[in-house]
């Protein structure tokens, strides 16, 4: 079990998550665009989905979400659900292209982030919170999505490293005797 | 190889169900989850501190780029405000004195008698839904869940989570926040425009007492009392670090004769007031007491303030989220008093079960929306406190009367 943990993605995902959480709670609270806080953890979860597929994206989103809920005092599992969905959506969209260009990956990451941002009020409705859907959501979601897309050239490689993945090699070996 | 297999679906489903399970456990209240929160906070704290130090230059650079024009504009506006405040501070001082005295006469609870704990804001919510701040004081400083939090301008929020050395404060603007408030009217013009009268406090036209003084509404003060400033005549401005508190009144004056009342006369007046109903007490005070603004007086004139205050209605103030004004519901116009209107003052109503004591200023009515039927009007409230720029706050160590002794 210990070996599985050491060799698995969590050994990297957790420390990266803590650093991202610290960044989220410090600099990203200050750097707001039109009063909207950029969701870097959500974007990373979506990027993990784009880089490693839905299930890995879901795993990263779940871990990040639980950490976020523990630190923020929000109902445990609420943000985890939203970030899990962000990872799943990012991964599902990435199925469109086998090895997407960086800008394609950016679009997928942005859309995954938007899905996660939309899920937060949905979960809060189930929790029984009053008026989680506000007009402001129309501003929040696009800004969060665009910010996620812009950060994806950094976040996709980071997610790939966390998940111990290497870029797929699609080129045919030149010195292959079978050719 | 199947890219999207049933096994992978199961993993995702399992994670989502686990999230739902955690959510259920947390909402039902689970000590293990609370302990996990505390433990994770301990782990995260040093990382967050280090990150804050490292990213501080970036934050400043960002603020330098984005806020420069705003700062310049704010600076000019503040300078203008300071100039205006210097002109009206004498009136404000008189109002402080009057409010304090009348509170003492009524024996009403006010913030001046309640201990507070100053705390620094160390964090804001990192999502776009919650309106929550984190402060650097916790249960070790006597802070408990439910206690109101104020700054010099008025109500900021209430404590919702407490650990040993930190606490979370839900801001008034949070959609989950509700507090009982009362709406009162006040003649703001009287505060803005100081009136010069004779040294005895008599109005030149002979109309004195009808509009003089207030009930226990020290909370009707504008943010006109600036610590550290001095009056034009060199006297210091009273330090009102808490909303609803003020300087002590040392002297009362008879408006008719202009002489100072003796202590015995003041005691008699207080005893008479205590025996009368509240409305007649207010009338009596209106007729009997004229409060001098002794410290602000010049040789030739005395500045007095007239603040007729009417309690109009009680209601529930509810936050509505970021960038949306909080709203008061459950109101009805009371024709025998006055109509609820824009500019009316809003302050906490108190009560035996309320977490906030009476008299904490909240803000002013900014909009009124009438609803059909028996719904009554909705009032949008412009908060006194600027919730976007909180640095230091005070936690009022107040326990509702219903909980005292428990």
Residue A107's pLDDT is what?
94
Interface touch A130/B33, C-beta < 8 Å: no
What is the phi/psi pair of residue B319, to 5°?
A: -70, 160
Asked if A127 is an interface residue toward chain B (Cβ–Cβ < 8 A), one would say yes
Residue A88's pLDDT is what?
93
Taking the C-alpha atoms of residue B227 and residue B225, their distance in angstroms, rounded to an integer, is 6
| Residue A175 distance to chain B (closest CA, Å) | 26
SS3 B284: helix
B388: closest chain A residue by CA: A35
Q: At what angle do helices B31-106 and B6-28 cross, to 10 degrees?
A: 40
Residue B226's pLDDT is what?
39
B124: closest chain A residue by CA: A29
Examine the pLDDT at A143 and tell me if it is beyond 90: yes
Instruction: Give the β-pairing of B167-171 and B155-162.
Output: antiparallel
* Minimum-distance CB partner of A23 among B19, B51, B160: B51
Say whether the ipTM exceeds 0.85.
no
**pTM for this structure?**
0.62
The H-or-E segment that residue B117 falls in is strand B116-124
Residue A43's pLDDT is what?
95
What is the phi/psi pair of residue B170, to 5°?
A: -80, 125
* Minimum-distance CB partner of B15 among A35, A58, A131: A58
Residue B115's pLDDT is what?
85
Mean pLDDT split into 10-residue runs, chain B, 406 residues: 60 89 88 89 89 89 85 85 73 71 58 82 86 91 91 88 90 90 66 41 39 37 40 42 45 52 59 48 41 41 52 83 84 69 86 82 87 79 86 86 62
Residue B193's pLDDT is what?
41
Taking the C-alpha atoms of residue A55 and residue A57, their distance in angstroms, rounded to an integer, is 5
SS3 A32: strand
Position A38 confidence tier, pLDDT thresholds 50, 70, 90: very high
**Could you give the count of Cα atoms lying within 13 Å of B27 in the half-sphere of its Cβ?**
15
A26: closest chain B residue by CA: B52
Q: List all residues of chain A from 80 to 119 with a beta carbon under 8 Å from chain B.
A: 80-81, 84-85, 88, 92, 95, 117
Residue B282's pLDDT is what?
41
* Minimum-distance CB partner of A25 among B22, B126, B324: B126
| Residue B120 distance to chain A (closest CA, Å) | 16
């Amino acid at each position: 079990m210990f070996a599985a943990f050491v060799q698995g993605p969590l050994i990297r995902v957790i420390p990266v998550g803590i650093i991202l959480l610290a960044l989220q709670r410090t600099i990203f609270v200050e750097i707001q665009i039109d009063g909207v806080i950029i969701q870097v953890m959500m974007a990373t979860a979506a990027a993990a989905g784009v880089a490693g597929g839905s299930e890995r994206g879901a795993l990263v989103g779940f871990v990040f979400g639980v950490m976020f809920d523990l630190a923020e005092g929000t109902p445990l599992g609420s943000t985890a659900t939203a970030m899990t969905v962000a990872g799943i959506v990012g991964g599902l969209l990435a199925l469109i292209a086998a090895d997407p260009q960086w800008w394609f990956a950016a679009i997928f990451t942005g859309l995954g982030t938007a899905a996660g941002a939309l899920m937060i009020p949905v979960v809060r409705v189930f929790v029984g919170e009053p008026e989680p859907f506000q007009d402001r959501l129309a501003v929040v979601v696009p800004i969060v999505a665009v910010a996620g897309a812009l950060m994806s050239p950094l976040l996709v490689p980071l997610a790939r490293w966390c998940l111990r993945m290497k870029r797929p090699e699609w080129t045919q070996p030149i010195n292959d005797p079978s050719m | 190889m199947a890219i999207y297999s049933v096994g992978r679906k199961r993993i995702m489903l399992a994670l989502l169900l686990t999230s739902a399970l955690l959510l259920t456990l947390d909402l039902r209240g689970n000590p293990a989850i609370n302990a996990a929160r505390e433990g994770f906070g301990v782990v995260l704290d040093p990382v967050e501190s280090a990150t804050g130090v490292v990213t501080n230059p970036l934050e400043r650079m960002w603020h330098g780029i984005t806020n420069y024009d705003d700062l310049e504009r704010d600076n000019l506006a503040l300078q203008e405000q300071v100039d205006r405040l210097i002109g009206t501070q004498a009136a404000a001082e008189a109002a402080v004195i009057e409010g304090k005295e009348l509170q003492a006469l009524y024996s009403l609870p006010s913030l001046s008698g309640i201990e507070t704990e100053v705390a620094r804001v160390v964090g804001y919510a990192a999502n776009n839904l919650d309106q929550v701040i984190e402060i650097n004081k916790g249960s070790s400083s006597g802070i408990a869940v439910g206690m109101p939090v104020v700054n010099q301008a008025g109500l900021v929020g209430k404590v919702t989570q407490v650990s040993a050395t930190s606490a979370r404060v839900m801001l008034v603007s949070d959609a989950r926040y509700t507090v009982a408030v009362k709406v009162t009217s006040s003649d703001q013009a009287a505060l803005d425009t100081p009136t010069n009268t004779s040294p005895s406090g008599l109005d030149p036209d002979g109309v004195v007492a009808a509009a003089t003084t207030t009930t226990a509404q020290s909370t009707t003060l504008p943010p006109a009392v600036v610590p550290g400033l001095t009056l034009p005549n060199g006297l210091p401005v009273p330090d009102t670090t808490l909303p609803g508190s003020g300087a002590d009144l040392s002297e009362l004056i008879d408006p008719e004769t202009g002489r100072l009342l003796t202590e015995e006369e003041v005691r008699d007046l207080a005893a008479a007031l205590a025996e009368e109903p509240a409305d007649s007490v207010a009338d009596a005070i209106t007729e009997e007491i004229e409060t001098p603004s002794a410290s602000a007086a010049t040789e030739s004139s005395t500045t007095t303030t007239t603040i007729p205050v009417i309690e109009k209605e009680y209601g529930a103030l509810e936050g509505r989220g970021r960038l949306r004004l909080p709203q008061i519901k459950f109101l009805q116009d009371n024709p025998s008093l006055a109509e609820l209107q824009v500019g009316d003052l809003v302050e906490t109503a108190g009560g035996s079960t309320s977490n906030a004591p009476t008299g904490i200023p909240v803000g002013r009515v900014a909009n009124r929306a009438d609803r059909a039927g028996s719904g009554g009007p909705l009032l949008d409230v412009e908060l006194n406190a600027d919730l976007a720029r909180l640095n230091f706050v005070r936690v009022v160590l107040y326990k509702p009367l219903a909980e005292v002794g428990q």
